[in-house]
Structure 1
Amino acid sequence: MEETVFFNLGNAIAAKRDPKELIKEAQIVKDQRKSAGKLVIVEDPVKGEHILFDLSDQEESKETTNAFKIKKIIE
């Protein structure tokens, strides 16, 4: 089930076209972080990129945010 979430692109941790490479990047970031927060990989339908965010950076819909579909949550 896909869920729409809203993020400010300025809060992105990383972005790549290849989702497998972004998953590797997410695992590295997760290992380096001290917090137990979740990371989320979303897809930008306009650019075709996959973007990595910290799920705690999720925002309400407003002019400065973009809607994305969740592709993977990394716990």
Structure 2
Amino acid sequence: HREAVGKAEEELQIEANSKVKDVMDRLVSRHPKLGGLMRKNSIYSLNRSIVDEDAKLSDGDVLAIFPPVGGG
């Protein structure tokens, strides 16, 4: 994901009552290369707890987006 965006971190101002999926929509609109890559395969960590796209965000929250873990 970092390669598609060109940086490791990005700070966003979001509307009140936003959810993780709203942030994802915004990131994909800013960085079209992310496309379905982020949506299908990502793991979301909100303040160091794993969450899904419906998690609500609050002021000061830190959302981390991780690629899927692979292996075998």
Question: Per the shorter chain, which TM-score range?
Answer: 0.3 to 0.5
Q: Which has the higher contact order (CA 8 A, sep 6+)?
A: 1
More strand by share: 1
Q: Give the TM-score normalised by structure 1.
A: 0.32
